[in-house]
Amino acid sequence: MISRVKGTQDVLPARFTSKPDAQIERWLFVERAAREAFRRYGFEEIRTPIIERTELFERGVGSETDVNKEMYTFADRDGEMISLRPESTAPVVRAYSEHGLFNQAGLVKLFYIGPQFRRERPQKGRYRQFWQIGVEVLGQSDAPAIEAEVIEMLDWLLNELGITDTDLLINSIGDGQCRPAYIARLKEAIFERLGALCGNCRLRAETNPLRVLDCKVESCQAYLAELPRINESLCEPCANHFTEFRRLLAQRGIAYKIEPRLVRGLDYYMRTAFEITGASLGAQNTLIGGGRYDGLSEILGGQPVKGFGFASGVERLVMSVPDSKINLDATKPELFVACVGPESRDYAYALGRRLRAEGVTTIVDLEGRKLKKALAVANSIGARYSLIIGEDEIKSGSYALRDMTTGEQNNLRESEIVDTLKYRRLF
């Protein structure tokens, strides 16, 4: 049998797997909560193509970033270079410009839920096809209030999901005015310690020195702690922006920690950067990451646009949701209809259709099993009740409704079945 591609997974109904991040009920719970959060804060959904021109990401994420090196890229039949989408901010900004959304008054607030692709080493909560939930706020304003409100929304979402063991880490990584001078100082300090750093740090020292700050290798930590901090080199506008952002978080009662070594892995970020980490995830503990990216649209050849957003890996959110938040019983069928004898099947099919029209989740036995085997199937799929239909039931118009948990059985007319099931849903 052909198996799935390395670094991918099948998401199944929970009754077929005990692996939390592969249970569809958990995914749907997370997605529903996210959509509700976005609705409350006025975000609208956007869906961009899974394939884009490679140039979009080479310009957007940078040619020397880890993301660029992990992209799935190929030449199509016309020789054009195409890449599977490794992230969604650049595609959303492209769509914003391509469809003239900059002509809209005020901010454009968009969200997405969809798969991304990166050929990296698979590990806990990280796959080569992975799913992200994210938002982008685009317009002509870079007000810190935008950033504070997005994080307020995330605070609501995480509480709704029952994910409470989190930390909000924030930093400012400056802008085109103050960051170049800081990068020069940082590179000088890195090269003074280059021999003591790991291979990745030595490579990044030339291509992307800010990412050196993000190294997790234990032997590098003491040396990285000696490097200059970017939030001590901010120009006055960036410093004022960061101060106001922190004030607005405090006003909302949102706790945070300033993490001087927090950077973003993509070239287009500036000023505010943030991460939300989860204590239950181990070493790879980032749940959500994002920041400000004014100027990305211009890099892509579009209109001048200011932007702020975040992305969250669905797999890690799903893994972090407590079991107590997932009601697996709610996903099970309410009713299994067992047919006794071939003459009852057509009647059962019609009855099943009428019950579904009334909102009852109904599974009709389509395979003509004997009653004992049919009830065994009802048990295996977790049906709460079984309805037994035979020749006698059809003649009398009264059907045996069996509670599959207690074994209690009552004879009911069709008109009573729906009311009985709706009443028992309350208990």
pLDDT tens digits for range 315-343: 999 999 998 898 887 778 888 998 887 77
- Decide: 91 and 49 in contact? Cβ < 8 Å: yes
3-state class of 115 per DSSP? strand
- 């970033």: which residue's tokens? 65
Stated as kind and residue range, the H or E segment containing 287 is: strand 286-292
Give the CA dihedral 12, 132, 318, 128, nearest 10 degrees: 60
The answer to whether residue 237 scores a pLDDT higher than 80 is: yes
- 């804060």: which residue's tokens? 41
Q: How far apart are CA 170 and CA 288, in angstroms?
A: 12
Mean pLDDT within 114-123: 85
- Decide: 264 and 311 in contact? Cβ < 8 Å: no
pLDDT winner (highest mean) among 133-142, 200-209, 227-236, 408-417: 133-142
Beta-carbon count within 10 A of 96 CB: 24
Q: Which residue has better confidence, 145 or 396?
A: 145
Q: How far apart are CA 64 and CA 153, in angstroms?
A: 33
pLDDT tens digits for range 160-169: 999 988 999 9
Q: Which amino acid is at 343?
A: E
* pTM as predicted: 0.87
| Model pLDDT, residue 326 | 87
Stated as kind and residue range, the H or E segment containing 414 is: helix 414-424
Q: Which residue has better confidence, 128 or 267?
A: 128
In percent, how much of the chain has pLDDT > 70?
95
Structure letter (DSSP) for residue 12:
B
Mean pLDDT (the chain, rounded): 87
Q: How far apart are CA 47 and CA 115, in angstroms?
A: 11
Structural domains of the chain sorted by starting position, each given as residue range(s) with its CATH number in brackets = 14-163+269-325 (3.30.930.10), 332-424 (3.40.50.800)
- Decide: 102 and 109 in contact? Cβ < 8 Å: no
Nearest to 223 by CA among 241, 246, 205, 242: 205
Structure letter (DSSP) for residue 6:
T
Mean pLDDT within 42-61: 90
Band of the pLDDT at 265, cuts 50, 70, 90?
low
Tokens found for residue 138: 């685009």
Write phi, then psi, for 174 (nearest 5 degrees).
Answer: 70, -170
